[in-house]
Amino acid sequence: MKLTNKTIVITGGTSGIGYQMVKLLHVENTVLVIARQSERLDKLLAEFPTIELYPCDLSKPATYEKVADTITKTHGHIDVLINNAATQNTPTYLADDFNYDAIVPEISLNFTAICALSYLLLPSLLNNGQTAFIANINSGLGLMPKTNSAVYCATKAAMDMFSQSLNYQLEETNVKVIQAFLPLVDTPMTEGRGKAKITSIKAATDILAGIEKEIVVNDLGKVKLLRLLLLLAPFIAKKILKGG
């Protein structure tokens, strides 16, 4: 599938990987960005005036139906839904700065929103008359967790199971569910953490290339090595990620 003349929904398009995908796609496609209302959203529209903005706080499930209904009424069909928005809270449960109130919003943004938007926008994906995609942006931490960010790791593991199961459900339709598994990427979310990160533009380019090639499981960078370690020496993978 060539990503030109398509209607593409991207969540979390104001920074990091999402921003780079908007930058790569906006010239030859109709790009719809779902993101929380902020100054960054206004700046995005100023930079890319042809995109469409749909302000929505995806950490709040009560907002999902309204934004999906607005998109459905505005566009007869959607070709690609890219579930990219995510957040990662790093304090451990034993840390003094662990925020109990952040648990539900993190789960909602990272996982519930994906389940909900995949359902609410599915009629528009089924209605496009050709192959359509739900592209879920995952992480190597969905395959093996690290010590901190327990909630984030759990949501990414859940995304993997959801994506596989939903793909089974949609086998007889025109909609395919694919995933991109990312290594550590240099984004505002990972600022000050980790080394040897890939750039957000590299991640965005590889994600979009995977969609065009219809790769169901697209392992980027070091995730390829992680996948091999999980097969051949899972204890080594566990040791590496535990201290990651």
| CA distance linking residue 79 with residue 167, whole number of Å | 16
Helix (H) or strand (E) holding 163: helix 150-169
Active site residue 54: no
Contact (CB, 8 A) for 17 and 37: no
Q: Determine which one of 64, 100, 152, 168 is catalytic.
A: 152
**Helices 113-120 & 150-169 angle (0-180, nearest 10):** 20
Bridge partners, residue 82, by sequence: 10, 135
Residues contacting residue 65 through CB under 8 Å, at least 6 positions apart = 120
Q: Assign residue 97 a region: left if phi > 0, alpha if psi is -120 to 50, beta otherwise? A: alpha
Supply the residues annotated as catalytic: 152
